[in-house]
Amino acid sequence: MVSYNRFGLSRNVPEEVKRKVRQRCGFGCVICGNPIISYEHFDPPFRDARSHSADGITLLCGSCHQKTTMGLINKGTVAKYNADPSGLREDVSFGIDDLVGSVPPIVLMGSNRFRCTGEVIRVADRTVLGFEVEIGARPAVLINMRICDRNGRTMFEIVRNEVSISKANWDVVWRGQSLTVRRANYKILLLLKFMMPNAIKISRLDLISSGVRLRVRNNGDVVATFASGMQGQGTEGMQLIRGCCVDGVPCGLVVTENGRVALAASSWEAIER
């Protein structure tokens, strides 16, 4: 539901304004560099804003935003970091100066290698994980991610690095060049590391979306397990995705509604449990 302030301004920041803010702030939280962010009106604060001016909006991660709400970080500190964002000072955000051209990043997932123009993983016709390149004064890789429950309802969604839906407590931590996503007090769902100049290594993956569990094993196999009765098709079983090399296709790994794994280059094997 869209909320409005007393001047009738919607909380929805237009995409073009978001793009300007991303570019200016170095694609990450201005304080700590975490690339998973929200757009925060800081000058003036949202309750006093009459328009979405890029200059008055900054990027904060969930943790730094919480600290500002609790008063542990004051407005002056936010303004100071906004003027000198972490992502532009250090090599800490997904804003990268030496991305090679505009090609999509190479995604290394276990023993598999994908370079996709669209998503990396798609389950039941919904994006689970994808990366896109934003070209601008500073090119950057933007992350899209969505976790759905068995009925296809979105529980957690990141759109172009912004947490847009969060129906539980999710923890997103950025350290060095590594991003970890987990449900609070729960195991790691995703651990990826940005490898210069243009590769992303998914070293840990264990998530369930739309009744499909996807894991990366230590030996490099990607395993897709289907819950009994997924999408009403009664499919149950497991498939391995191993040694797959895909380049220039719209999507790397597609799991269809009836629980089948499809790959552009088929070097996967199916195992019935």
**Site residues (vs Zn ion, CB under 5 A):** 29, 31-32, 34, 61, 64
Residue 34 vs 144, nearer CB to Zn ion: 34
For residue 95, CA distances in Å to 57, 145, 153 come to 18, 18, 31
The closest of 269, 125, 148, 169 to 211, measured between CA atoms, is: 148
Minimum gap (Å) between residue 77 Cβ and Zn ion: 12
Minimum gap (Å) between residue 183 Cβ and Zn ion: 19
Question: Taking a C-beta distance cutoff of 8 angstroms, is the pair 257, 124 a contact?
Answer: yes
Q: Residue 158: CB partners within 8 Å, gap ≥ 6?
A: 36, 143, 144, 145, 146, 164
Minimum gap (Å) between residue 258 Cβ and Zn ion: 41
Residue 61 vs 246, nearer CB to Zn ion: 61
Q: Residue 107: CB partners within 8 Å, gap ≥ 6?
A: 113, 114, 115, 116, 120, 131, 199, 200, 202, 252
Minimum gap (Å) between residue 26 Cβ and Zn ion: 12
Residue 32 vs 96, nearer CB to Zn ion: 32
For residue 211, CA distances in Å to 121, 151, 155, 189 come to 14, 8, 13, 15
Minimum gap (Å) between residue 230 Cβ and Zn ion: 37
Residue 74 vs 258, nearer CB to Zn ion: 74
Three-state DSSP string of 40-66: EEECCEHHHCCCCCHHHEEEECHHHHH
Residue 35 vs 130, nearer CB to Zn ion: 35
Minimum gap (Å) between residue 172 Cβ and Zn ion: 10
Residue 86 vs 112, nearer CB to Zn ion: 86
Residue 78 vs 241, nearer CB to Zn ion: 78
Minimum gap (Å) between residue 95 Cβ and Zn ion: 15
Minimum gap (Å) between residue 100 Cβ and Zn ion: 28
Distance CA 45, CA 69 (A): 12
Helix (H) or strand (E) holding 268: strand 268-271
Q: Residue 76: CB partners within 8 Å, gap ≥ 6?
A: none
DSSP assignment letter at 207: E
- Position of tokens 């912004």? 162
3-state secondary structure of 150: coil
Residue 36 vs 207, nearer CB to Zn ion: 36
Residues forming a β-bridge with 223: 215, 240
